[in-house]
Structure 1
Amino acid sequence: MEGAATQDRRPLAYLADGLVLTVVLALVTVVGHNFLAPDQQSTQALADSATSVPTPTDSPVPSPTPTVTPSPPPTSTPASTPALTPTPTASSVVSSTEGVTTSLPIPSPAPLVEQPEDTINLLLLGSDQSTGGNPGRTDVIVVVTIFPDPPSVSLLSIPRDLYVYVPDVGFERINLAYRRGEQANYEGGGIALLQDTIEYNLGIRVHRWAQVDFDGFIGLVDALGGVEIPVECPLTDTFPDPDSEDGQTDVDWEPGIYFLDGKHTLWYVRSRWSTSDLDRNRRQQQVLRGLYDQIVTLDVILRIPEVWDALGETVSTDLKLEELIHLASIGSGLDPTDVRSFLITKGIVQGYVAPSGAQVLLAYEAALRELVDTALTPPAADRVDREPFRVEVWNATGDEGLGRVAALRLGWEGFAVVSVSQVESQYAQTLLFDYTTSPKGSPVPLLSSLYGLPGNRVIYAPAADRETDFRLVLGADYDPCLATRVNWWPEDLPTPTPVATPSTSP
């Protein structure tokens, strides 16, 4: 890549930033799925003229003799929603910054999550602070938990509007804790107050952290040559744009595969106009995976010692070089199913109006605790050794990019995608063919929820000698946005419809 081996230190520094924000991001990637590797192409700035990147047609790939295994665990969500703590009549606190008396009691510190001794909790932050500016808000907050033995990773995104008790300050949105710490000269600075806030409210002890501002994020993506993003939901927004004649740019992205430069990637992760803060967390994790894919493609990981000295122009971290190399060694052995994603969503939080009038998110204590415990605890030993269910995707939508959008989502949900194929046949509806021979541990409820499938569109065709466990046929009604649901509520297994299996070729 141009600039990587020259005297141009700026691109080199951004590559170092990329290592911190992606290698340290627990190396979240869909490793080893060659047919999902990003296309090698130049960066394309996408605004009004954004276009989908065509996807090559792949033939189904034979798979080894299957082992029937239970479904990988979905994102944990509570079976029921407890009530919010009633508004008290006493024990209120006064915010030292707003001078407003809240109507919430000062909570007791959350008990620390019990974890194996060698577990590493990394706090990854994206700030709206401009380089050299005043303390910003941490609008991207991700806790990455690495379990070294056996290697696995959990990502927990924390909404910026989560309303929490900030020690020595009062109730605030969590994205303001860093700023309050900087303004009050809190011991250890803003990062220390944010760490203490997370530990106080969520019971998470942060071991290491890394932070980048918007300028650094844009430079990182551009230094990597752009990033490939599977857009699952329509996104419409207007952004300030110094490169535009009128100072702003409208974006209108439909579902598909996009290759974005730094500016447009930042817009993608920050947009809330047509979505929500909760959905923004999903897109942030999506972009982090895409960034790591690009770093793997460029073999940047092999250059960790070389780029380390260039680190620091746009990223702050307390990681040491040897720690980063250690994390890279852990990540090199990760499989896609070793990475679990967790989002704080409806059912775990609800809307709340703070005394200042701000629209915030207030957590259901029991539901949040259940999610945090699940996210920060290593998967059960019996799950680690299980093979993921295999899925082949037939794309009959007429849009080549949607096949890869579906495949990437399946990988994120813990499935092994063996092929993505274009089919000429017309399918009005999306169908799921189930070739497994036992309903025990079946992922059919999860797959049905991802694609909005009623029982009569799940076709049971058991085959002991199968080369794939499921075939997903994307029909004209395929809506990738359905799969972005943050909560998956288990339902009864739909009654399958036994019919003849279609031909084995697209």
Structure 2
Amino acid sequence: MGQEESRLTSRQSVKKSKKHHRWIILALFIILASAGSAIAYYMHAISPQTHFNHLKTIGTSKNALSGYKEKSGVFNVLLIGSDQRKQNPQGHTDSIVLIHVDLTHHRYNLLSIPRDTRVYMQGQGYTKLTSVQFIGQLKDGTKKGITDAVSAVSNLTGVPINYYAETNYWGFRSMVDALGGIKMKIPFDVTLTHPWNKKYKNMVIKKGTHNLNGTMVSEVVHERDSLPGTDFGRQRLQEEALIGIGNKVMQPQNITKLPALSQSLSKFLIATNLSTSDMISLGLGVKSDYHPRNQIHYYQLKYQSVVMKDDVLQAQNDEVVLDTKQLQQVIQQHFMN
């Protein structure tokens, strides 16, 4: 091959090489642009204002939907603490907290509903709220039990409910331990009269702020008999536990754990309809402006303890009848807008 032909071949090779590199750069650009679009779409999709919009409700009656105006970034969650044990799939509803989440204005209104509240069970008659889930589970399985409980609360309050999350002693304990424990304010002395673990019998947790692991938080929020106002006292402890958990989750080092935590929900929750993307979007929405003492508002209801006929259990039962006027007032002011 002559010198001229060699130079020509070399120039052609350089041109092919440059052309090849251009194609590589173009391909990389397309891949990166596509990835960027996918990331942008995903971030838009999990943005609270986009994600929490046009939501479904669970077992909601027409009564619960009347007067309620859905807003983007606003929804209702029912938290249920169950006495369900590992060896028995059925459980009674032990604690009930209805949460009105407003991610637009960063308001979180919580309403505790006593477990013995008299409610109407569709097609069955009147019974205690704590029995609704158990009866539904016995007849039609776990999911029906939880949706029956959600429906009963929705019909009682007139509030449409979008999400639910149920935990038990072991799940709640695991959740707190996964966060490395929490700092919890104890508003009064707590004596553990009926602990899950008998070795803590009559143990006293003094009024003040304590660093507690999952076991102790679970024992504290389970206590009732030694507390001022019994159920009212338990509700205050539940509020402080939720604030403690929220504070710990929102710490910068724990925000990055949200996806992993949400994928481990089965360790903490018996049942929920919250998806991984729901959890991440909720975490992002709360994190953007989180001041729990100013933003979390806890409401308790007045009631009368009476003995009444339980239509479902066919027996006279101790039941709680809520102050209807106060209930309606709290719902209208804090859960309907």
TM-score by length of 2: 0.71
Is 2:221 the partner of 1:235? no
Provide closer, same or farther for how the CA distance between residues 363 and 239 of structure 1 changes in structure 2, counting only shifts above 3 A.
closer
Larger Rg: 2
Deviations 1:212-243 (A, max 9, x none): 11111112222322222222222223234657
> 1:262 matched to which residue of 2?
214
> 2:277 matched to which residue of 1?
322
Is 2:314 the partner of 1:372? no
Deviations 1:469-492 (A, max 9, x none): xxxxxxxxxxxxxxxxxxxxxxxx
C-alpha distance in 2 between matches for 1:241 and 1:306? 28
Is 2:143 the partner of 1:194? no
Indicate the percent of aligned positions where both proteins have the same amino acid.
24
Q: Which has the higher contact order (CA 8 A, sep 6+)?
A: 1
> 2:249 matched to which residue of 1?
295
> 2:8 matched to which residue of 1?
none
C-alpha distance in 2 between matches for 1:187 and 1:263? 25
1:306 to 253, 260, 273: 260
- Aligned to 2:256, the other structure's residue is in SS state helix
Is 2:301 the partner of 1:345? yes
1:162 to 112, 117, 137: 117
C-alpha distance in 2 between matches for 1:188 and 1:223? 26
Q: Is residue 187–residue 207 contact of structure 2 (8 Å, CA) maintained in 1?
A: yes
C-alpha distance in 2 between matches for 1:229 and 1:306? 24
Amino acid at match of 2:329: E
Q: Is residue 301–residue 323 contact of structure 2 (8 Å, CA) maintained in 1?
A: no
- Aligned to 1:124, the other structure's residue is in SS state strand
- Aligned to 1:135, the other structure's residue is in SS state coil
Instruction: Tell me which moved more, 260-269 or 294-303.
Output: 294-303
Amino acid at match of 2:223: S
> 1:456 matched to which residue of 2?
none
Q: CA deviation at 1:261?
A: 2.1
Is 2:237 the partner of 1:283? yes
Q: Is residue 269–residue 280 contact of structure 1 (8 Å, CA) maintained in 2?
A: yes
For structure 1, the 5+ residue unaligned runs are 1-23, 25-107, 379-506
Q: Is residue 129–residue 213 contact of structure 1 (8 Å, CA) maintained in 2?
A: yes
C-alpha distance in 1 between matches for 2:198 and 2:317? 32
- Aligned to 1:354, the other structure's residue is in SS state strand
Q: CA deviation at 1:111?
A: 6.6
Q: CA deviation at 1:110?
A: 6.0
- Aligned to 2:71, the other structure's residue is in SS state coil
Is 2:322 the partner of 1:363? yes
Amino acid at match of 1:284: Q
Amino acid at match of 2:291: D
C-alpha distance in 1 between matches for 2:308 and 2:194? 27
Q: Is residue 112–residue 205 contact of structure 1 (8 Å, CA) maintained in 2?
A: no
> 1:120 matched to which residue of 2?
75
Is 2:95 the partner of 1:140? yes
Amino acid at match of 1:374: Q
Q: Is residue 113–residue 373 contact of structure 1 (8 Å, CA) maintained in 2?
A: no
Q: Is residue 137–residue 179 contact of structure 1 (8 Å, CA) maintained in 2?
A: yes
Amino acid at match of 2:212: L
Amino acid at match of 1:182: Q
C-alpha distance in 1 between matches for 2:66 and 2:232? 25
C-alpha distance in 1 between matches for 2:202 and 2:232? 22
- Aligned to 1:121, the other structure's residue is in SS state strand
> 2:290 matched to which residue of 1?
334
C-alpha distance in 1 between matches for 2:241 and 2:318? 26
Q: CA deviation at 1:357?
A: 4.2
Provide closer, same or farther for how the CA distance between residues 116 and 337 of structure 1 changes in structure 2, counting only shifts above 3 A.
farther
Cα-Cα RMSD:
2.6
C-alpha distance in 2 between matches for 1:294 and 1:361? 34
Provide closer, same or farther for how the CA distance between residues 309 and 220 of structure 1 changes in structure 2, counting only shifts above 3 A.
closer
Q: Is residue 184–residue 240 contact of structure 2 (8 Å, CA) maintained in 1?
A: yes
Provide closer, same or farther for how the CA distance between residues 319 and 360 of structure 1 changes in structure 2, counting only shifts above 3 A.
same
C-alpha distance in 2 between matches for 1:175 and 1:302? 36
C-alpha distance in 2 between matches for 1:186 and 1:199? 20
Provide closer, same or farther for how the CA distance between residues 257 and 354 of structure 1 changes in structure 2, counting only shifts above 3 A.
same
C-alpha distance in 1 between matches for 2:129 and 2:68? 23
Q: Is residue 103–residue 286 contact of structure 2 (8 Å, CA) maintained in 1?
A: no
Is 2:250 the partner of 1:250? no
- Aligned to 1:359, the other structure's residue is in SS state strand
Is 2:125 the partner of 1:173? no
Q: Is residue 301–residue 322 contact of structure 2 (8 Å, CA) maintained in 1?
A: no
Q: Is residue 195–residue 205 contact of structure 1 (8 Å, CA) maintained in 2?
A: no
C-alpha distance in 2 between matches for 1:238 and 1:134? 25
Amino acid at match of 2:330: L
C-alpha distance in 2 between matches for 1:180 and 1:365? 25
- Give the aligned length: 267
Deviations 1:230-265 (A, max 9, x none): 222222232346573xxx621223322222222221
Deviations 1:150-172 (A, max 9, x none): 33221122111211112122212
Q: Is residue 69–residue 336 contact of structure 2 (8 Å, CA) maintained in 1?
A: yes
Provide closer, same or farther for how the CA distance between residues 377 and 324 of structure 1 changes in structure 2, counting only shifts above 3 A.
same
C-alpha distance in 1 between matches for 2:148 and 2:83? 18
> 2:160 matched to which residue of 1?
205
Deviations 1:265-305 (A, max 9, x none): 11211111122112211110110111122223372222223
Alignment of 1:369-408 (within 5 A): 369-378=328-337
